[in-house]
Amino acid sequence: GRFSYRMEARDGSFGFDYSGVFDDIQAEHSLHYHLDDGRTVAVELLPQGGNVTLLRESFQADAQHDADTQRNGWLAIAQNLARYAERQYAAGNRA
Instruction: Tell whether the model's pLDDT for residue 31 goes beyond 90.
Output: yes
What confidence score (pLDDT) does residue 43 get? 94
SS3 track for 8-64: ECCCCCCEEEEEEEEEEEECCCEEEEEECCCCEEEEEEEEEECCEEEEEEEECCCCC
Q: For 35-94, write each residue's pLDDT tens digit.
A: 999 999 999 999 998 888 898 999 888 888 888 888 888 888 889 888 988 898 888 876
Instruction: Tell whether the model's pLDDT for residue 5 goes beyond 70.
Output: yes
Please check whether residue 17 is in contact with residue 5, taking contact to mean a CB–CB distance below 8 angstroms. Answer: yes
What confidence score (pLDDT) does residue 95 get? 60
Residue 26, beta-bridge partner list: 30
Domains (range + CATH), the chain: 2-90 (3.30.530.20)
